[in-house]
Structure 1
Amino acid sequence: MNRGLLAAVALSLGCGLLGASHHLATADVPGGTVVRTTPVAGTPHILDGRVFAVTRVGNTVILGGSFTRVRNEGSNTEVVRNGLVALDANTGQVSPVFNPNPGTSVTSLLPAADGTSVYVGGGFTSISGATRARVARIRVADGAVVPTFNAGTINGNVRDMALRNGRLWIAGAFTHVAGRSQPALATLDPDTGAYLPYMGLRVAGTHRGSGVTQVLKIDTTADGSRLVAVGNFDTLQGVRNHQLLMLDTSGASAQPATFRTGFYLTPCSSAFDTYMRDVAFSDDDSFFVVTTTGAYGGSTGACDTTARFETRTVSTDAPPSWINHTGGDTTYGVEVTPAAVYVGGHQRWQNNPFAGDRAGPGAVSREGIAALDPVNGLPLSWNPGRDKGVGVFDFLFDDRGLWVASDTTRIAGQLRSRIALLLKDGATRPTIRTPLLPNDVYTGGSTAALTGLLKRRYDGAVAGAVQDPPDGGINWSTVRGAFMVNGVLYLGQSDGSFTRRTFSGTRFGGAQVVNTSDLIVRLAAWHDEVAVMTGMFLDDNRVYFTLTGDPNLYYRYFTPESGVVGAQRYVAGTGVAGLDLRQARGMFLAGSQVYVATSTGTLVRVDWQRGGASGRLVAGTATTVSGPTLDGQTWGGRAMFLFQNATGGGA
């Protein structure tokens, strides 16, 4: 994985930080622009093998892999390039002078700080005619070795590298670096290649007692304070950090970070020494995403998943903030951008936790490549498709777009052999803003107007007079929950349907079925829940809801842009003192507070705490703020929602 070249963008992603002491009052979900779904013309064709790594230095893109032959787009002339090739970032033309010829696979590439050279990692022992064991630094202009950099003998493959705070990190299957015992993860001087003792911690063990101890992939935060690593290992300094570890790299020497997880203790298939495949931090360093292989391992395991974790978690067993299951197919490369988490492998589906090697309830087709919602992991609408092969082994997000390095020849139906560029100006989705008070509160299916719609102005303390707005021809007695997003009203109804329509406050658009998760195998459990809901609201791209006679607050992931509902249901908690959720008769979110109408006609306000995998009602904060005996207002109905216009503002 290569960190993008764009400046870091601070995202207010609502998952928050597990264990954090501060949470935002509102959790706007940022919009963003995904890359195009069709590749740009002009990239060269890599004619055999695999492209394992892609990076960029100035106007030159360098590819590393196991290939031997390339040709320019529009040319029939094949050019020999063993494991390394350079091309013009703008024209795609292969450099005629860059030919280091390492003679064996290159698995990692990393720009040097000088802007004119690149670090190369792999299994080679010579490159550009010079003796260099598994890591070298070469000039981009002509492929010549930088003679002042020599790391000496590294006795195993270098699989990945990172450059931060004046240190070159190398990761791989080695046990010794320049004669010193330092298994799997080490630091070098980036100018000379000399061994640096900064990383003196011991990585040891294996996942299944097979294979060799090795780190497959690493990434670092932009501020250089954290490094995360995945691979075939069990312990760090004798403490279990199974297949995933995090280092605190902010001090004078590398130290274990406060983050540990047991999520990757799942056995998965015995065919794999390790099922870890890639890891990448977000641009703002707040979270990282991990991809795996492993064959289908059930709906709760780590096999064949993409999962998000919060960087600053303080825990010995940190859970993922979200998990996306493919249903038994491998996801290899991952690239996190402000707009999307791009993943590529030989997966056929996303959102598919309940079936192995077939589409289960809720599965969404995303063949070989997908863009996931960073906030909940569900697939966005972006869907170019690619020949699956083994997978996408690396991504690079730069100022032109997304470079996709793989082992297959077609993406979006076009011939782009093993390397493709998708320009960055694709579709844009708007920010989803948390609704606020004062605002218009709509109530449908109330005792005062069973089939109609009512509204009243409310500022959190004083409710205005009840009004009778247009009802859109909807029989509101059949509605079971509602919320608005950017001028669109979402309705769950008694027949289990989930629909959306535009709503201006006076005019309703036609109903559209929200059924992306039903197109292959109907997500029946969701529709059964919709039919018996007693309240619903959206926060942080999660639909929270209550059910008839049930004390729990549940949630499912939901991405309005793609219309995908999460296949799995989760529990956000129960009611709190002063609020029994079995009495819920409508609810809405306003800022950092949830308002729940009850069967007695009262309106109860509860603080809403964001963080981790879901939000939660805060114990000790339930307050009855309105009701028949307080201010003469009677609340509750089949649906309650706050108005939100097309730009996310209230009425």
Structure 2
Amino acid sequence: MKKLVLAIVTGAAVVAAALIPSGPPVVAAAPGFGSAVSAIKQTSWQTNNSVNALAIAGNTVYAGGLFTRIRPPGKAAGQSEVVRTYVAAFNRTTGAPTTFAPTLNGPVYSIATSPDGKWVVIGGDFTVANGLKRSKIAMYSAVTGRIVQAWDPVVAARVKALAISGSTVYIGGAFGRVDGQTRNRLAAVRLLYGDLTAWNPNANNDVYAIDVSDNGTRVFVGGPFSTINGQDHYSLAMVNTTTGAAYSMPAAAAIPKPTVKCTTRVKDIDTLGDKVFVSNGGDGGGCYDGVLAADATTGKLLWQNTCLGATEAIKAIGNWVYKGSHAHNCSSSGAFGDGTGTHYLLVESGINGKLGPWYPNTDANPNSTTKVGPLAMAGTNTDLWVGGDFLHVNNAVQQGLARFTNTPGGAYPAKPKAPTLTSTTANQVRVAFNDVYDVDNLTLTYNVFRGSTNVGSYKYVSYYWEKRKLYSMVDTGVKSGQTVTYHIEVHDGRNIVKGPSVSIKVK
């Protein structure tokens, strides 16, 4: 859950058009971009090390990880830093830090906020929080920022995953005991008191991800485990919220069991409405790394995207699923292949899994412990926050944390080149022009101008990783002997970019 809110073309163009993934193209939205948020990075502070977890409550986003300092946007490492030991909070509107500043003695790997926005639960490797003994888990007031002194479950090892639903906190990780009782990698405590419940799915290996269906009837868990309660449930399971008994989940069969060439496991889970979205990461060439969607009640597989490059984090917003990954080959899903670089940030349709119109990018810090780029996501219907081990976002310095919003405007299309003009027939000019791309739109409008007169308007779908396509039109509104000038203007629904002009004498 993790939310409080829920033509006239040339032959070359015809060939290129055949490479477009199936399904209707996404038309530019009124704000100037095609998905829920723009690809433009908005202002936010940075961290000095990786962000592993994110959660939102009201107008505050909470971040946890390996960092011990935060700094203003645009500042290089070491400049104007402020102490925040492994956890911090930021204003969703401005990206600036709040006064929330717990002191911990170890990293944070998970964060969850209560449905009413009053409580923040953090999990990780720490044993001391705000000077109090705390074994891998602690709760804070979102209103005062103070630790809840009487809330102190004792978890034996790392807490890697958290989810809160109703009056229950669900916990996943590497532990074998909670409050002295056997709880293998999965447990639950009451939100207000912290006392252990009877919920005990008993996973035989670590749990990396946990989330609860929006209607509160299913808990979804993921990780490198192979059994739940002694029964075969490899890497993904759907369990009862009270008893911990596992339901049948047909979609889990889409995750291949380990072989000598491939070991893949669930990395993140996010539910929205009647769907659950699951991301995977694998070891081995061609191993499953993608995202699948399933019915949140029946567990039936709805779709699966098989892009290669482990998907570390996902966030569903409306009909979109944003993913943080190191995708390098999505040819199996009808998109880019190897050789086009690493695509750390992507969006997929929540309806069919096809890649959509959102292509910002990060990098991955080669000196980090993970070296994968994005590691965590959180968002609402107006914003998306991304955390990870990256150093740059959209080629600008921005370490650890990034913010994207639905502020109107979006990215501008690339500047079109001057058209190529030919006149071999009296009273005619053929105007040929290449398409361009836009990192948060697929469908662009190309307006062909003769001087100040628009002589043609065409809509084409462009994917930035493709070889640029060539289109042409014939202008018959000219006279022999005239010298005429043409240029191309590209429109994405809000932003217009004008290309250079070129002239020709009409035959």
Same fold (TM over 0.5): yes
Contact 1:259 1:312 in 2 (8 A): no
Residue in structure 1 matched with residue 248 of structure 2 by the alignment: 258
Cα distance in 1 between the residues matched to 2:391 and 2:35 = 26
1:375 pairs, out of 330, 337, 351, with: 351
Cα distance in 2 between the residues matched to 1:190 and 1:125 = 20
- Per the alignment, do residues 225 and 56 of structure 1 end up closer, same or farther by CA in structure 2, a change over 3 Å counting? same
Cα distance in 2 between the residues matched to 1:343 and 1:292 = 11
Cα distance in 1 between the residues matched to 2:394 and 2:120 = 31
Query: Residue type matched to 2:60 in 1?
Result: T
| Max Rg structure | 1
Is 1:5 matched up with 2:4?
yes
CA deviations on 1:541-567 (whole Å, 9 max, x unpaired) are xxxxxxxxxxxxxxxxxxxx9xxxxxx
Map of 1:510-525 to 2, 5 A cutoff?
Answer: 516=463, 519=466
Cα distance in 2 between the residues matched to 1:290 and 1:364 = 25
Query: Residue type matched to 1:165 in 2?
Result: G
2:361 pairs, out of 379, 385, 405, with: 385
**Larger RCO (CA within 8 A; separation ≥ 6):** 2
Contact 2:4 2:57 in 1 (8 A): no
Contact 1:275 1:293 in 2 (8 A): yes
- Per the alignment, do residues 330 and 427 of structure 1 end up closer, same or farther by CA in structure 2, a change over 3 Å counting? farther
Residue in structure 2 matched with residue 70 of structure 1 by the alignment: 70
Residue in structure 2 matched with residue 578 of structure 1 by the alignment: none
Cα distance in 1 between the residues matched to 2:459 and 2:96 = 47
Map of 1:324-339 to 2, 5 A cutoff?
Answer: 324-327=305-308, 329-339=309-319
Deviation at 1:518? Answer: 8.6
Is 1:91 matched up with 2:94?
yes
Q: Helix, strand or coil for the counterpart of 2:282?
A: coil
- Per the alignment, do residues 144 and 268 of structure 1 end up closer, same or farther by CA in structure 2, a change over 3 Å counting? farther
Contact 1:268 1:296 in 2 (8 A): no
Deviation at 1:295? Answer: 4.1
Residue in structure 1 matched with residue 267 of structure 2 by the alignment: 277
CA deviations on 1:417-472 (whole Å, 9 max, x unpaired) are 211111124689xxxxxxxxxxxxxxxxxxxxxxxxxxxxxxxxxxxxxxxxxxxx
Deviation at 1:262? Answer: 2.5
Cα distance in 2 between the residues matched to 1:294 and 1:35 = 29
Q: Helix, strand or coil for the counterpart of 1:346?
A: strand
TM-score normalised over the length of structure 2: 0.70
Map of 1:73-222 to 2, 5 A cutoff?
Answer: 73=73, 76-95=79-98, 97-113=99-115, 115-140=117-142, 143-151=145-153, 153-197=154-198, 199-204=199-204, 213-222=205-214
Contact 2:74 2:398 in 1 (8 A): no
CA deviations on 1:50-95 (whole Å, 9 max, x unpaired) are 1011122333322100011211236742122221112223232223
Q: Which moved more, 1:63-72 or 1:509-518?
A: 509-518
Cα distance in 1 between the residues matched to 2:283 and 2:458 = 40
Contact 2:104 2:130 in 1 (8 A): yes
Q: Which moved more, 1:81-90 or 1:343-352?
A: 343-352
2:337 pairs, out of 356, 359, 367, with: 359
Contact 1:259 1:313 in 2 (8 A): yes
Cα distance in 2 between the residues matched to 1:124 and 1:297 = 35
Contact 1:367 1:388 in 2 (8 A): no
Map of 1:303-342 to 2, 5 A cutoff?
Answer: 303-313=288-298, 320-327=301-308, 329-342=309-322
- Per the alignment, do residues 256 and 514 of structure 1 end up closer, same or farther by CA in structure 2, a change over 3 Å counting? same
Identity of aligned residues (%): 24
Q: Helix, strand or coil for the counterpart of 1:262?
A: helix
- Per the alignment, do residues 215 and 513 of structure 1 end up closer, same or farther by CA in structure 2, a change over 3 Å counting? same
Deviation at 1:109? Answer: 0.9
Unaligned 5+ segments in structure 2 are: 7-25, 366-371, 411-442, 444-455, 470-491, 493-507
Residue in structure 2 matched with residue 244 of structure 1 by the alignment: 236
Contact 1:34 1:425 in 2 (8 A): no
Q: Helix, strand or coil for the counterpart of 2:293?
A: strand
- Per the alignment, do residues 156 and 66 of structure 1 end up closer, same or farther by CA in structure 2, a change over 3 Å counting? same
Residue in structure 1 matched with residue 433 of structure 2 by the alignment: none
Contact 2:269 2:276 in 1 (8 A): yes
Query: Residue type matched to 1:127 in 2?
Result: A
Cα distance in 2 between the residues matched to 1:130 and 1:69 = 21
Q: Helix, strand or coil for the counterpart of 2:211?
A: strand
Query: Residue type matched to 1:253 in 2?
Result: T
Contact 2:95 2:403 in 1 (8 A): no
Deviation at 1:33? Answer: 4.1
Unaligned 5+ segments in structure 1 are: 8-28, 205-212, 429-487, 489-508, 523-560, 562-651
Cα distance in 2 between the residues matched to 1:5 and 1:348 = 33
CA deviations on 1:194-225 (whole Å, 9 max, x unpaired) are 1111x133222xxxxxxxx1111011111101
